[in-house]
C-alpha cells in the first residue's frame, strides 16, 4: 500500500519536472506578463524573442533549478496526499465519484500549499531576479541562491513573508482539484466496460483537464504571482 502510494508520488513529481523543463520558457513569459504590468501582452514567440534579445537566451531558463526543486517537492506532497486519501476514502467496494475526487483534491492541495508556499515565494523571486522590468516600481532582489534568499527574506522582511500569497494559493487548490476531478471522470468514461485506455488517450485527457482548470483559475494565479514578488519592509 505504502509502496504504491510512494510510486504515484514519485511518478507525479518526475512527470511535472519533465513537463516544466520542456516548457519552461513559456512559464517565463507567463511570469513576466503576470508581474510586470507595463509589459504589453503580445504573442508568445514575440515575448520570448524580446526577453532573449534584452537579457540573453539563457534568461529564458533563469530560475530553473529553484522552480524545479519547488515543483518536485510540491507535486510529491500533492500526489502522496491524494493517493493516500484515495486509498482511505475509496476503499473496498466503494467507487470513486466526482464529488469525492474534488474533496480529495482540495484537501491534498491545501496540505501542499501550507507546506510548500515558502519555496514558491523564494523561487518566484529568484526567477525574476535580474530581469529588465518595464514597471519601475518593481524592486530588484540580490540573492545568491535558494538558502541566501530564505535567509535574507526572514532577516529583512520577517518569516511571515515566506507565506505571501497564501490566501490566493489556498483558493487555487481548486485548480488541481478541478483538474483531477475532470481527469478522473474522463478516465472513468473512457475506460467504461473494462476498455483499456491508451497512453495517447491518457495524455489527451490530462491536457484537457489541465487546460480547463488553468483557464478557470488564471486570474488568481496572477494575484498569487504578484504577492509572492512583493517586498515587505
pLDDT, tens only, 7-42: 767 777 787 788 888 888 988 888 888 888 777 777
Is the pLDDT at 75 greater than 60? The verdict is yes
pLDDT value of residue 87: 82
Fold of 2-229: Mitochondrial carrier fold (1.50.40)
pLDDT value of residue 148: 92
pLDDT value of residue 111: 92
pTM of the model: 0.68
- Higher-scoring residue by pLDDT: 120, 2: 120
> What are 137-163's pLDDT values in tens digits?
777 778 888 899 999 999 999 999 999
Burial class of residue 119 (count of CB atoms within 10 Å of its CB; 0-12, 13-18, 19+): buried
What count of other Cβ atoms lies within 10 Å of the Cβ of residue 227? 17
C-alpha closest to that of 30 among 12, 16, 44, 50: 44
C-alpha closest to that of 125 among 113, 108, 139: 139
pLDDT value of residue 3: 67
- Under 8 Å between Cβ of 24 and 90: no
Q: Is the dihedral of CA 222, 69, 163, 62 positive or negative?
A: negative
95 phi and psi, to 5 degrees?
-115, 150
- Give me the count of residues in the chain: 233
Residue 26's alpha-carbon distances to 53, 89, 192, in angstroms, are 16, 37, 36
Burial class of residue 103 (count of CB atoms within 10 Å of its CB; 0-12, 13-18, 19+): middle
Is the pLDDT at 233 greater than 70? The verdict is no
Average pLDDT over residues 113-128: 89
List the chain domain ranges.
Answer: 2-229
Tracing cell 516544466 back to the chain, one arrives at 20
3-state secondary structure (DSSP) of residue 26: helix
Is the pLDDT at 231 greater than 80? The verdict is no
16: left (phi over 0), alpha (psi -120 to 50) or beta: alpha
| Minimum mean pLDDT range among 1-10, 79-88, 177-186 | 1-10
Residue 14's alpha-carbon distances to 54, 79, 105, 184, in angstroms, are 32, 11, 19, 20
- Under 8 Å between Cβ of 194 and 102: no
Average pLDDT score over the chain: 83
Is the pLDDT at 1 greater than 60? The verdict is no
Q: Could you give the CA distance from residue 8 to residue 14 in angstroms, rounded to a whole number?
A: 10
Q: Label residue 228 by pLDDT band (50, 70, 90).
A: confident
DSSP state of 136: T
Rg (CA), the chain: 19
Q: Could you give the CA distance from residue 63 to residue 28 in angstroms, rounded to a whole number?
A: 9
> What are 173-227's pLDDT values in tens digits?
877 778 878 888 888 888 887 788 888 888 898 889 888 888 888 888 888 888 8
110 phi and psi, to 5 degrees?
-65, -45
- Under 8 Å between Cβ of 163 and 118: yes
Per DSSP, the chain holds a count of helices (H) and strands (E) of: 9, 0
Q: Label residue 95 by pLDDT band (50, 70, 90).
A: low
Amino acid at each position: 500500500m505504502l509502496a504504491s502510494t510512494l510510486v504515484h508520488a514519485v511518478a507525479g513529481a518526475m512527470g511535472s519536472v519533465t513537463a516544466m523543463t520542456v516548457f519552461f520558457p513559456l512559464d517565463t513569459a507567463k511570469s513576466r506578463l503576470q508581474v510586470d504590468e507595463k509589459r504589453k501582452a503580445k504573442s508568445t514567440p514575440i515575448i520570448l524573442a524580446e526577453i532573449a534579445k534584452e537579457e540573453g537566451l539563457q534568461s529564458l531558463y533563469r530560475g530553473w533549478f529553484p522552480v524545479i526543486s519547488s515543483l518536485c517537492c510540491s507535486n510529491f506532497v500533492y500526489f502522496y496526499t491524494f493517493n493516500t486519501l484515495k486509498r482511505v476514502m475509496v476503499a473496498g467496494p466503494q467507487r470513486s465519484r466526482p464529488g469525492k475526487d474534488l474533496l480529495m483534491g482540495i484537501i491534498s492541495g491545501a496540505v501542499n500549499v501550507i507546506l510548500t508556499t515558502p519555496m514558491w515565494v523564494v523561487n518566484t523571486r529568484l526567477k525574476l531576479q535580474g530581469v529588465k522590468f518595464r514597471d519601475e516600481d518593481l524592486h530588484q532582489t540580490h540573492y545568491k541562491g535558494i538558502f541566501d534568499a530564505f535567509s535574507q527574506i526572514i532577516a529583512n522582511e520577517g518569516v511571515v513573508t515566506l507565506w505571501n500569497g497564501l490566501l490566493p494559493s489556498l483558493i487555487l487548490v481548486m485548480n488541481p482539484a478541478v483538474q483531477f476531478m475532470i481527469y478522473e471522470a474522463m478516465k472513468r468514461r473512457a475506460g467504461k466496460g473494462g476498455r483499456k485506455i491508451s497512453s495517447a488517450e491518457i495524455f489527451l485527457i490530462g491536457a484537457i483537464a489541465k487546460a480547463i482548470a488553468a483557464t478557470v483559475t488564471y486570474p488568481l494565479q496572477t494575484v498569487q504571482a504578484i504577492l509572492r514578488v512583493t517586498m515587505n519592509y
